[in-house]
Chain A
Amino acid sequence: MTKYIVRRLLQMIPVIIGATFILFVLVFALPGEPWQGRCGERPCPPAYVDAFKKEYNLDKPLLIQYGIYLGRLLRGDLGTNFYNNRVIDELAVRYPTTVTLALIAIAFAIVIGITAGLVAGINRGSFLDTLVTVSTLVVISVPVFVIGGLAQWSILKLKLTDIIPVTATQGTIGQLILPGLVLGSLSVAYVARLTRTNLVENLRADYVRTARAKGLSKSRVIGLHTLRNSLIPVITFIGYEIGSLMGGAIVTERIFNINGIGGFIFRSIEQRDGVSVVGAVTVLVLVYLVVNLIVDVLYGVLDPRISHD
């Protein structure tokens, strides 16, 4: 197991290097220049441009730039962006909000998604099953900004803004409940469907028949024998979802005015702030890889058939 983890960690190195390089090239290839709009209405004077280029090594070839960047990164330095702020500080301000938002979304996915999936799966073919199947399909096919707008609109119409705020400028937990639900709606839907499918499939499995033949109660057959098997893929899926939600949520953050990672990356791209983009995304990639590793290890623990040796 330790060997497996070490191997996985080592595998991350080329992934990080590859990912940062691709990002670097992409940011480099973006049309427009980072000094645009820094000198008022006029184009920037050549002296300013030269100084700017020098300061940020933009005068050197791409590979050299990249080499310098990588060298800093290995020392844990994410660099300083074109506004003279350390990227790590910019991230530190926003990350707690993004993490809180992601965890709220996941909490909804777990509580509502799994419950709905179980209810639907156990009562297959019933009204509740149809309700879950249809409503999740709707959620999956409607874009997030529509769901978000609808959620805000309903809260405003119902005059519930005192209890459920529709903006989250400070990013407190209370403010993040509604955005979390909106962000998590897709995960809720997927988790519900995945849980239902797996439960239905497992209820047909031979080992369930054996469990019944052993004279176990229905609650034990479903709640212990079937559930344990059915939830393995669901837990894995939720794990991967955590990984991707940690990357921020551009649309949801916009709708609810949240100062999170997603918005930060979006603005940095707009401003051609390459250092910020590459720095932020590198951290996201790292988080994603680590979460995936944790999920894979957990999967091996949950399912004894998976061996990490």
Chain B
Amino acid sequence: MAKTERTAEPAAPLAAGAPLLEVTDLQVEFRMREGVARAINGVSFTLEAGQTLAILGESGSGKSVTAQAIMGILDTPPGYVTGGRVLYRGADLLKMPERQRRLIRGSQIAMIFQDALSALNPVFPVGWQIAEMFRVHRGLGRTEALERAVQLMERVRIPAARERVKSYPHQFSGGMRQRIMIAMAIALDPVVLIADEPTTALDVTVQAQIMQLLQDLQDERQMGLILITHDLGVVADVAQRIAVMYAGRLVEEADVIDLYGRPCHPYTRGLLDSIPRLDQKGQTLSAIGGLPPNLLHIPAGCPFNPRCRWAQPLCRTGAPPALAEVGVNRRSACHFWPEVAAAAPAAGLASPAQSETAGSDPAVLQTLGAASADALGPDGAQDRLAASDSALAGEQGATAVAPQGPVAAGGPALAGPTPDGGSADESEGR
């Protein structure tokens, strides 16, 4: 059991010029008694070194399954990859023998999970769990591996790391546990890091600290980061690319700035519109009504058509619209994307403070501007992104009160101090 598997340090590119990670037409299904749930239906994207790709979508849209398929940790049965390729530096992971794939898993492509309390093993000390990476993959001895674990815990700013290395997961606060999870994931200097809703289980202040930590680590190590989230606010801050997922498909993919400024798919538009805004308190804007489809019976035509206000008869028949180029480096899977893109967004970019599920005090929510349609050039979008940065900072203290009514985009007054990551959290201690 203590057999060690040594891996070479991150392999040299197998194919020169190949992207870090290239997912093509990935298909995953869950074969269950009730039928076959088609969880992933042809997902394609590329990730480059140092890049952050956000995958956004409602719960159940297939984000986690995509990540698990890339990692090769699907629950099989019932889950099976039925098609597609996952090229890591040009080599298809899906075709690799399990042994070979296992050497890459964890050491070159690592993953962080949503709920660190359940994702860490409750009966082993945290230091042991981090050290296990060095022992299994690098063949280090117990003492040396534990020493490396302490260093990592210090790197992710866990206070008194040396004393706490023998503590168990339940003895840490949520934020600290997520730091431990991160330490474990980056232990072997992975080139690709997949973070599956790394902050969803945490409260808002801690969320920002964890995101900051992830970003610092990414800058430091030039990792390709896949950030899975259903929180648009988080995305705006850290990602360059964004892929919106619906019913196991990508429905839109673009640079973050382009996507926020001019969504080209009704679903993206709905997501942006449903961010709560103070200036129109009480009004639910065009938040998407209805539920995502049952994956056992995905509707014919465009899977989004039952919920889409742009839907036409064309949308209800035939194959789903393909993810097609709709501009420079951006794609959308909608028959009527030009109409969607042309329609003025209902409002400007709202604060990222609240996700659909975060459920924090609405008073904290701020609006950074109810921009009119003509403010929506690329520049306008840029401004609003900057503004959303400050919103995230401002929300830390939960004191910045948004004025009722529109504020000019980019209003600097809302900027607040960003606490040094990992300080507010420390007090939670044991």
Measured CB to CB, the residues of A under 8 A from B are 204-207, 209-217, 219-220, 223-225, 228-229, 232, 302-305
Tell me if A215 and B123 are in contact (CB < 8 A): no
Q: A217 CB to closest chain B CB, in angstroms?
A: 7
| Chain A residues, CB < 8 A from B118 | 205-207
Min CB gap A104→B, angstroms:
30
Please tell me the number of chain B residues within 8 Å of chain A, measured between CB atoms.
33
Q: Collect the chain B residues with CB atoms within 8 Å of residue A213's CB.
A: 71, 73, 105-106, 110-111, 113
- Across the interface, B120 reaches (CB within 8 A) one of A210, A217, A224, namely A210
Kindly state the separation between the CA atoms of A212 and B104 in the bound complex, as whole angstroms. Answer: 12
Q: Are B123 and A232 closer than 8 Å at their CB atoms?
A: yes
Q: Is the CB of A217 within 8 A of B132?
A: no
Chain B contacts for A209, CB-based, 8 A: 68, 73, 75, 113, 119
Docked CA distance A211–B73 (Å) = 10
A-B pairs with beta carbons under 8 Å apart, 30 shown: A204-B75, A205-B118, A207-B119, A207-B120, A207-B121, A209-B68, A209-B73, A209-B75, A209-B119, A210-B119, A210-B181, A212-B105, A214-B133, A215-B5, A215-B102, A215-B103, A215-B104, A215-B137, A217-B5, A217-B102, A219-B1, A225-B121, A228-B121, A229-B121, A229-B122, A229-B123, A303-B123, A304-B123, A304-B170, A305-B168
Residue of B nearest to A305 (CB): B170
Classify the secondary structure of A's interface with B.
helix
User: Which B243-260 residues have a C-beta within 8 angstroms of A?
Assistant: none
CB pair A214–B75 under 8 Å, yes or no, is: no
Residues of A near B121 (CB, < 8 A) are 207, 210-211, 225, 228-229
Q: Chain B 82-114 against A: per-residue CB contact (8 Å), 1 yes, 0 no?
A: 000000000000000000001111110011010
Contact residues in B for A223 (Cβ distance below 8 Å): 1
List the B side residues contacting A303 at CB < 8 Å.
122-123
Bound-complex Cα distance A228 to B110 (A): 24
Distance between B113 CB and nearest chain A CB, rounded to angstroms? 6
Residues from chain B with a CB closer than 8 A to the CB of A207 are 118-122
Chain B residue nearest to A302 in the complex (CB): B123
CB distance from B118 to the nearest CB of A (A): 4
Residues of A within 8 A of B102 (CB): 215-217
B112 to chain A, nearest CB (A): 9
| 10 closest A-B pairs by CB | A215-B106, A215-B105, A206-B118, A214-B106, A304-B168, A207-B121, A212-B73, A213-B111, A206-B119, A210-B119
CB distance from B49 to the nearest CB of A (A): 20
Q: Is B48 an interface residue (CB 8 A)?
A: no
A124: nearest residue on chain B (CB-CB)?
A: B77
Given contacts A210-B121, A214-B106, A214-B132, 8 further A-B contacts (CB under 8 A): A209-B68, A213-B111, A214-B105, A215-B105, A215-B136, A216-B132, A217-B102, A305-B122
Nearest to B7 among chain A residues (CB) is A215
**Are B136 and A220 in contact (CB-based, < 8 A)?**
yes
Docked complex Cα distance between A294 and B355 (Å): 49
Q: Which residues of A contact B3 (CB under 8 A)?
A: 217
Q: Are B1 and A206 in contact (CB under 8 A)?
A: no
**Which residue from B1, B107, B133 sits with its C-beta under 8 Å from A224?**
B1
A69 to B111, CA, bound (A): 67
Q: In the complex the two chains form, what is the Cα distance from A153 to B71 in whole Å?
A: 56
- CB neighbours (8 Å) of B136 from chain A are 214-216, 220
Say whether, besides A205-B118, A304-B122, A214 and B103 are in contact (CB < 8 Å).
no
Q: Cβ of B115 < 8 Å from any Cβ of A?
A: yes
Any chain A CB within 8 A of the CB of B184? yes
- Determine how close the nearest CB of chain A comes to the CB of B194; give it in whole angstroms: 9
Interface string of B163-197 (1 = CB under 8 A from A): 00000101000000000010010000000000000
